Amino acid sequence: MLDLSKFDEQSAALAEANGIPLYLAGHYMALIGDTPEIDDDGKLIVRDANDDEIARLMAPAGWDLAIPA
């Protein structure tokens, strides 16, 4: 789980990497949660509360998207 300052930092990086507003990146970060879903192209899949896909985003440079075994 991210603390608030780390959440804000990663939201800003996500916004910059995808050219989206900071408020939207923060919303997407909350939906992505602790275990991101990654497509075959390495993009983050964002799903809403109904599990419907609402976005695919580029991960900011330096993000470790490896899911621990």
pLDDT tens digits, one per residue of 31-69: 998 889 999 998 999 999 999 999 999 999 887 765 544
pLDDT at 2: 63
Angle among Cα 39, 43, 47 to the nearest 5 degrees reads 75
Percent of the chain with pLDDT over 90: 68
Q: CA-to-CA distance for 11 and 5, rounded, in angstroms?
A: 10
pLDDT at 66: 59
Give the pTM: 0.84
Quickly count helices (H) and strands (E) in the chain: 2, 3
pLDDT at 68: 45
Confidence of residue 29 (pLDDT cuts 50, 70, 90): very high
Read off the amino acid at residue 57.
L
